[in-house]
Structure 1
Amino acid sequence: MVRTAEVNAAGPRRARSRALMVAVTAAGLIVAGQGTAQAQPESTQLAPAYTIGHGSLGSIAVCIGRLDVEVYPSADGPQPYVVRLESNFVGVTPVCLVDGTFTWHNLDTGASGSDDWALSGWDGPEAGTVRYFDPGPGRVEVTIAPATPHLPGGGEFTAA
């Protein structure tokens, strides 16, 4: 009988200990997560562009796929922001050229700009290219428009 009473008395203490351990672990994860988020540049994944590609001059090649679009602050580039395009195409040959125009428009200041880009299937799956730009602070709209028939990609992010 004494043994049963000791076990029952220890039950609430164990439950409190477990609850305290869970609370301390959760608080530690929250603090660790905040530190990590602040240490890495904040990136924004925008809507992908869907398009067809083409072969090089004199070759016949057709491919189809998407361009993933990501915008993030530049740590060491010539401009404060970077747009990265990453290719995800399939086709009948390894040659898949895709090119187009990247445009941005700061919805708060009216500033805008554009730049041409190109990607090659010779670089393999998930080949990427970057373009640096300075939209100034505010809400910025980005559009990725391939030169071939496409559904444009892009979206909006807030520049600091």
Structure 2
Amino acid sequence: MLIDKNDVSVPVTVFARTSVAPDRAFQVVAPIDLTTVFKADRFFPGISSVANQSDTWDHVGVSRNPRFDDGSTVEEQLTEYVEGHGFAYELTGFTNALRNLAAGVRGEFSFLPDGEGTLIRWTYAFKPLPGRRLIIAGPFAPLWRRYMQAGLNRMVAATEATNAPGEA
């Protein structure tokens, strides 16, 4: 486990609503193509491809290596998976600037009923390297929150597209 109860992490959380039911939102978001979600902006590279995913992204233990447009990579492993409700993963082995700031990240998605739709909660909990917590919590977190919200908005658009008229 990357982060335990004794660690001081820096969480960044974003929320978005979709009109589709939680189980449907989960079915779209959990296996989503990362290249459609993580787009480059002024501060962060986008994901250009995913390597080494030898299995479907639907059970604990599966791993993959997202590759960024700047040539950097990260190792990602699914650590929790509850069909229709949520999943969690850990990111380690950053080869970009994050390698100088964090030992890793625990990401977590929750799909919560919200009337006829779903409230999606996405959290990134950074485990800062010694002496780096203030950098992550200070100037980095607001920029990362904006980047995450843009990605989550793209995920919501993908869920809404599955709820188009004429679809089951």
Question: Does the alignment reach a TM-score above 0.5?
Answer: no
TM-score by length of 2: 0.28
Q: Relative to total residues, which structure has the larger strand share, 1 or 2?
A: 1
The higher relative CO (CA closer than 8 Å, separation ≥ 6) is in 2
